[in-house]
Structure 1
Amino acid sequence: MSDQLLVIIDPGARQTDGESVRIAKDVLSAGAAAKVCLPEGPEEFARALGRRGSRRPVVVGDDAALMRAVTLLHRERELAGCVLSVVPVGETLSLAASLGVPTGAVAAARAVLDGAERRLDLLADDSGGLVLSQLAIPPAPVRVPAPAPMAAAARPWYRSLVRTLTPRPTRLSAIPAPGPTRLRVEVDGEALVDLDQPVESLSLTPATGGLAELEVHPLSVGAEARPLRASGRTVTVTGPDFHYRADTKVTGPVRRRTWRVAEGAWGLVLPARP
């Protein structure tokens, strides 16, 4: 791996946790030749990544910033030849943690400097979407920002200033939880579940060796139904309009989607194994 780093600090990370950003930047700059970029939006983020040259890109940001980098490289057909590093900073870090990245700024920055590249599988769907960690049907409720309460007598300019400076709490979205649905689920062309069997949930995860692991929970009536598990290289889900969550993004409604495993499709720097 290149000893020269391109440190791309996502604007959301700078707004959410400037102290962690400063720590990560100091550790990385002390341990390697690092060029720091401060993009102001997605377009500047894409330009910085595209002009990395021989430098190894390091994304300082949340799960959305990591997905943005992977998706951009995938679309440019440069993902296989690029080794990514990430220092998780922000509100949503569960994806990075599930991949094995430390969530503390110091530990993650040290892993960038001293860690090792690990080749990981991913799932690519027939619409251009990617799954790095897990796909779920139905998606869990999404946490969205809730506005902070304002005093009734506050002046307009003061209310605007407070909205700018006060961190906004999160709340569960008001979307009602979906009930059981009828889906046809095929693994490598063979039906695991058909439309006559309602299912409560489905999860799909890229594993190792070019296989995806699938778990389907049928609707239980009376005695608890055992989950159905299978592994394969291609999974197709068909049925009435359904939504799904692919890592951090909820997509839908769709009536058919196929996911294929891309073995060793991308490289991520993780702490060296003992």
Structure 2
Amino acid sequence: MAEVATSATSEQLLVVVDPVARRSDGESVRIAKDVLGAGAGMKLCLPDGPEEFARALARRGSRRPVVVGDDRALIRAVALLHRHRELAGCALSVVPVGGALSLARSLGVPTGPVAAARAVLDGVERRMDLMVDDSDGVVLGALRIPPLRPSQAAGAGPEAAPDPDDVPGRPWLRTCQSLVRTLVPPGRPSRPAAAPEPGPSRLRVEVDGETLVDLHQPVEAVSVSPVASGVASVEVRPVSVGAEASPLLARGRTVTVSGAHFRYRADTVVSGPVRTRTWVVQEGAWGLTVPAGSEPAGS
């Protein structure tokens, strides 16, 4: 991943503080604002929701955007800039604040407010690969299609457990339960148990047009993540019978998954169900400011 050594101190910053960060950790937000304000010209935006967040980014002008928030705020900013085709000319910075920070950490961003704010001021731009799907969704880190869980799909029925009313020696329990039932307002429907939703079972996974696994072979899980310039690593775990089945591995630029309706997790966002989806790796599609000399986790 290429790094561009550009000083940030002479730039004007647009600091957009995600509302979730303000509610969850106001002290870290204050520290980040103090460090950034002491080192650069800064315009502060405190949006109340996603629409104001989007408007703030759209009106940034020549200011470099700095997102103060968690992984979801970072993903939202990248998705907005991608949607407006502004990622190529915009170096994004982030000060991670909140509960979900694993993505920012994996990209090489410090998770402490002081260190992250200093990286914004003194760091370098690293160009990152981006996976873009055929609905214009983006994936910064990893894509997962969850495992098949047949035990969840075959939940126990109402007769699976013995009825405590019929247990000998506890006639008082039947009386209490009858009393409770009389206190429920008439006509009020009982809440049905949520039906468990199984994961994918039979999927076709194609990498650069070559079939890695087809519909006749059930799979437990699929994972896709960028690993090199313009290339994603794909791992398919077949359903094992007896001994554990070896994963199927491939690398390529384009990954298509199709078959039964499936859900997928792109970074922190769960989407679907869909019957088919294609992801394409765009090399160096977006820039993120990181500390000079740092490396993303796992590199």
- Residues 218 and 35 of structure 1, relative CA distance in 2, 3 Å threshold: same
CA distance in 2, matches of 1:100, 1:26: 22
* Aligned residues with identical type, % of pairs: 72
CA distance in 1, matches of 2:265, 2:284: 22
CA distance in 1, matches of 2:273, 2:200: 15
- Residues 82 and 179 of structure 1, relative CA distance in 2, 3 Å threshold: closer
Matched, 1:118 2:126: yes
CA distance in 1, matches of 2:195, 2:13: 42
Q: What does residue 103 of structure 2 align with? A: 95
Instruction: Determine if contact 1:120/1:208 at 8 Å carries over to the other structure.
Output: no
5+ unaligned residues in a row in structure 2: which ranges? 1-5, 150-193, 295-299
Instruction: Determine if contact 1:58/1:85 at 8 Å carries over to the other structure.
Output: yes
Task: Trace 1:1-274 onto structure 2 (pairs within 5 A).
Answer: 1=6, 3-138=11-146, 176=196, 178-179=198-199, 181-273=201-293
CA distance in 1, matches of 2:39, 2:62: 17
Name which one, 1 or 2, has greater alpha-carbon Rg: 2
What is the deviation of 1:175? Answer: 7.7
For normalisation by structure 2, the TM-score amounts to 0.77
User: In the alignment, residue 28 of structure 1 is paired with which amino acid?
Assistant: L
Give CA deviations for 1:225-263 in whole Å, capped at 9, x if unaligned: 111111101000011011000011101111100000111
User: 1:207 is paired with a residue of what secondary structure?
Assistant: strand
CA distance in 2, matches of 1:138, 1:175: 17
User: 2:228 is paired with a residue of what secondary structure?
Assistant: coil
What is the deviation of 1:105? Answer: 0.8
CA distance in 2, matches of 1:175, 1:219: 23
Aligned length: 242
Instruction: Determine if contact 2:200/2:262 at 8 Å carries over to the other structure.
Output: no
For normalisation by structure 1, the TM-score amounts to 0.84
User: 1:78 is paired with a residue of what secondary structure?
Assistant: coil
5+ unaligned residues in a row in structure 1: which ranges? 142-173
Q: Which has the higher strand share?
A: 1
CA RMSD, 1 decimal: 1.8
Instruction: Determine if contact 2:126/2:289 at 8 Å carries over to the other structure.
Output: yes
Farther off after superposition, 131-140 or 70-79: 131-140
